[in-house]
Amino acid sequence: MKTEYIKVDFETEAGTQGIRLAAECIKNGGLVVFPTETVYGLGADGTSADAAKRIYEAKGRPSDNPLIIHIAQPEDASLYAETDAIYKTLADAFMPGPLTVVMKAKESVPLATRGGLSTVAVRCPAHPVANLLIRLSGVCIAAPSANLSGKPSPTDARQVAEDMMGRVDMILDDGSADFGLESTIVKIEEDGSLTLLRPGRITPEELKAATGVPLAISDAVTGKLKEGAAAPSPGMKYRHYAPSAPLTLLEGDAEKCIGFIKNEGSAAIGIIAYDEDVPRFRAAFPEARIYSFGKREDELTQAHELFKLLRLMDKDPLTQIYAPLPRKSGIGLALYNRMIRAASHSIVRL
């Protein structure tokens, strides 16, 4: 398949023309990669079962893993899902923005799009390109992250091109994604409580403060899904984000980490380090690749860098990678959730 790669630009007629072409492509059943404020999405008509099949094929994704549908304005959720007062509260507080809400689905969303579930995940992205694309398409856009299944979500159009050239009709390039980790996913349960299925930019603390509703954090967010247990969100079952060299997360200060890594004596090591610790790691391991992660307290920068680093490290010939274990609150929880998966739950507390 020939992939058209278009740089989008809101300032020029030619730049927005690309978005118009992409909307036509979606209307005609095509696949378009587009930017959002979290990560790039691989979009197609969310009301078409055939379009959903094409997405699963292009990603190499198991078809029981449901897709998020993207809408242009929060009110449109009621076309596709049974919305209620809690949805309205969440929408007023966080939409458009990096929040996905799981609710009971309406028949307008084909079963293929929702992976056979009775619920559907709905998100109203804040990115102007995504918003215009959805508006011009005239339908909701079903879109998983635009990576090949198992790889980190792409946060930059160049990463998209690596994975998706030849597999989709169009790629809209708008540079680097703002946040860098996927949206927060929250489910509205039948009793009106909330369950956090995936942490992201919108934190559990913010969700609780805005709704005043009890919020459970799904076990799989911070731990391993038990063998044979039903996944509250199908995506939790699958291997995700793992770099080719094994990654170990270390909890402890730089001195303790240095002692531990020396003791392990791996051949070609890569170390993801907080900016403050980079000079010490460089001095201790002159042969190692040291990747700076942003300042210790700057979780927004860390979120922005993580997937980029995971992809970058796969290009370096490493035999072992070490990274710090993030905290489990605020945006730290989103980092923690992605990093324990990338590390296949290998954590050492020093």
Q: How far is the CB of 75 from Mg ion (least distance, A)?
A: 26
The residue type of 252 is G
Q: Which of 145, 155, 183, 184 binds Mg ion (CB under 5 A)?
A: 145
Of 248, 240, 274, 272, residue with least CA distance to 345: 248
- Given Mg ion, ligand TXA, none, residue 74, with its beta carbon under 5 to 8 Å by kind, binds none
E-assigned strands of the chain?
A: 4-7, 32-34, 41-45, 68-70, 99-104, 119-123, 141-142, 170-173, 184-188, 194-198, 215-217, 247-251, 269-273, 289-292, 320-324, 347-349
- Residue 196 vs 261, nearer CB to ligand TXA: 196
Two structure tokens written together for 270: 């890569």
Q: How far is the CB of 269 from ligand TXA (least distance, A)?
A: 30
Say whether residue 117 binds ligand TXA (CB under 6 A): yes
Q: Name the closest residue to ligand TXA (Cβ).
A: 235
Q: How far is the CB of 145 from Mg ion (least distance, A)?
A: 3
Binding residues for ligand TXA, total number by CB under 6 A: 26
Determine the Cα–Cα distance for residues 34 and 159; give it in Å rounded to an integer. Answer: 13
Say whether residue 337 binds Mg ion (CB under 5 A): no
Q: Which helix (H) or strand (E) holds 271?
A: strand 269-273
Say whether residue 201 binds ligand TXA (CB under 6 A): no
Say whether residue 121 binds ligand TXA (CB under 6 A): yes
Of 76, 99, 118, 250, residue with least CA distance to 179: 99
- Residue 18 vs 232, nearer CB to ligand TXA: 232
Which residues are within 8 A (CB) of 284 and not within 5 positions of it... i.e. 6 or more apart?
258, 261, 262
Span from 81-89, 119-127, 188-196, 267-275 in contact with ligand TXA (CB under 6 A): 119-127
Say whether residue 294 binds ligand TXA (CB under 6 A): no
Of 227, 175, 253, residue with least CA distance to 9: 175
Q: What residues make contact with Mg ion under the rule CB under 5 A? A: 145
Q: What residues make contact with ligand TXA under the rule CB under 6 A? A: 36, 38-39, 41, 65-68, 100, 102, 114, 117, 119-121, 123, 143-145, 182-183, 185, 197, 233-235
